[in-house]
Structure 1
Amino acid sequence: VFGISINAFVIYCILFRTKYSLGAYKYLQLIYILLGILNINAQVLIGEAIRASERDLYVRSLNVALEKVVIAGFLSLWSNYHLVIDYNFLYRLWVFKTPHRIRLFSTGWFILLLILVFIAFFMTWGATALWCFTPTDNGRVKIRNVLERKYGLDSMKQPMIMADFFQADGSWNVRMEVGMIIISSIFIFMAYAAANIVEFLRNTKLKSANSLRLQRQLFVLLCAQV
């Protein structure tokens, strides 16, 4: 409820309380916030539970009847939620680095490209979750007692997505590493864009103090959303 309330308040501020024209960035923010609300509701509906230990991280559903493909779909939604943050970072980066490219966010072919990337990443991450994060027998055994004691579920039968960092013999789980590399690409771009934006904010030649203040506020808000 708190998360939905905060997102609803931000939508209100963007639509009705913003004094400056944000251009297409306003719509990127709205899409991101709406995806956030959808993601929050999906967490509630599937009964998401996450447990981390020094050897594994797993995401599963408290709904016994829920198929693993549905859980993978939830993870795809979560990853695309962060992909839209990348779109926002790209916009803010171009504001400083290549301002003439900002108009692309209002052109049909570029919007279509962003949509296609969104769909492709959703499908890629869903397939990755199913193939790279397949529960191992070793991992299921490790969490069996906790799952049974806390939720009354049998880890050997419960549909789940699992990131088990090590095999039973102690070797690295290569599949899991591939999956982590794919999802890490989202956050690597965020870090790259953020570092460049900070550099531009330090050395910007903006004459208007109000414009500089606005750019800083938008960047801080974007970082807080991560």
Structure 2
Amino acid sequence: LSFLDVADFIVDAHLGGGVLLNALLFYVVRRFSRSSVGTYKNLLATFAAYDVFLSLLHLALQPAAVITGTTFGVVTDTKYEDRKLTSIYCACFTVPFALMNIHFIYRFWSVRSPHLIALFSSPKFVALISMWPIAEFVVWYLLCFYALTGDVDEVGTRILRDEYARRYGKVLNDGWIVMNYWEHGFSPRLFSAMLAFDVIIFASFTGAISLGILTFYHIRKSEKISTQAHALQRTLFIAVCAQTFVPLVFVYVPYYCVINFAFFNIPFTFVDDAWMRMTACFPAWDAVIIIMLIRDYRDGLLSMFRKKKAVSMKETTWRTVSTVV
């Protein structure tokens, strides 16, 4: 087995784990959340459901990224070979950026302006704030599909197609989104697209850091909440920070590297291979962190298996007694 074969096996395991673990997380969030968690459980459940979707999307589209020289591209391996599908895939993985910031807004309001938390129970407000991840998806999709290139006969597409065939032994003629930065000298169009991608990434992460710092500050300074409420706020804050670290490592950094390295001709050839594999692993670890850090969910999940074990033992005992009788 080659290193890539082992890596692909690990990725497939993570994708399966992403579906299973996030489905379990969705259940335990709905089943074992305390009333004190409030509507925050809806955000956690939304994140879990979306992570299931991301894992299934990756399995269905089988994406790959290729960098060769100053040319970078992404393609999805489906029978349709459609640039729209590739653009949709890339855009879908930006939605967690927005969801992460919504989590931080909730946590910040819960300690700084608790009266605003009621807004998360308002259908109008939920619809309004849902426009944030939707808008981020739409902007990223439009940039991928319209600002980037990828026609079948383009020089950049041919370069990437040949490199993909060399690596994976398969020819994908269409479905590419391409950034061939220096094909005809400096390209203002592609440079502007790169800057737009970078702005979205940095704005999302800067917003999360700012809200995180403010939330931590107000948790430390808060004197109007009980010790139990303070402990809950601290636990949930740690959980959302850890949950932010996962997309930072598995999504933010890889996205930034593959978008920018080709422009500067940085010769890290493993980055493109690593990118798709890292994004595939992100949903599974997202679920693991929440389950491990929030005791109610961890204990709730364990109690499910204990009950099954107890029921199994009772059935075994009954059968043994029946046999003896």
In the superposition, the TM-score normalised over structure 1's length comes to 0.83
Q: Aligned AA for 1:151?
A: Y
Deviation at 1:45, TM superposition (A): 0.3
Aligned to 1:182: 200
1:116 correspondence with 2:150: no
Q: 2:231 aligns with which of 210, 213, 218?
A: 213
Residue aligned with 1:175, SS: helix
Let me know the Cα RMSD of the aligned residues: 2.7
Identical-residue share of aligned pairs (%): 22
Aligned to 1:24: 39
Counterpart mapping for 1:1-226 below 5 A: 1-51=16-66, 55=70, 57-63=72-78, 65-135=80-150, 139-140=156-157, 143-154=160-171, 157-163=173-179, 166-168=181-183, 171=186, 173-205=191-223, 207-226=225-244
Residue aligned with 2:65, SS: strand
| 8 Å Cα contact 1:134-1:163 kept in structure 2 | yes
Q: Aligned AA for 1:8?
A: A
**What is the distance in 1 between the residues matched to 2:208 and 2:107?**
11
Q: Which has the larger radius of gyration?
A: 2
Equivalent residue pairs, number: 224
| 8 Å Cα contact 2:61-2:78 kept in structure 1 | yes
* Deviations, residues 155-195 of structure 1 (Å, cap 9, x unaligned): 7x33222455x423664723222233234432222222122
Aligned to 2:9: none
Residue aligned with 2:94, SS: helix
Q: Aligned AA for 1:31?
A: T
Deviation at 1:142, TM superposition (A): 5.3
Q: 1:100 to 1:45 in 2, by over 3 A?
A: same
Q: 1:140 to 1:184 in 2, by over 3 A?
A: farther
**What is the distance in 1 between the residues matched to 2:27 and 2:134?**
28
Unaligned runs of 5+ in 2: 1-15, 245-325
| 8 Å Cα contact 1:138-1:167 kept in structure 2 | no
| 8 Å Cα contact 1:131-1:175 kept in structure 2 | no
| 8 Å Cα contact 1:64-1:159 kept in structure 2 | no
Q: Aligned AA for 1:50?
A: A
| 8 Å Cα contact 1:135-1:162 kept in structure 2 | yes
Q: 1:161 to 1:186 in 2, by over 3 A?
A: farther
Higher helix share: 2
| 8 Å Cα contact 1:104-1:110 kept in structure 2 | yes
| 8 Å Cα contact 2:67-2:160 kept in structure 1 | no
**What is the distance in 2 between the residues matched to 1:224 and 1:167?**
39
Q: Aligned AA for 1:79?
A: T
| 8 Å Cα contact 1:132-1:178 kept in structure 2 | no
| 8 Å Cα contact 2:164-2:171 kept in structure 1 | yes
Unaligned runs of 5+ in 1: none
Q: Aligned AA for 1:161?
A: I
Q: Which has the higher contact order (CA 8 A, sep 6+)?
A: 2
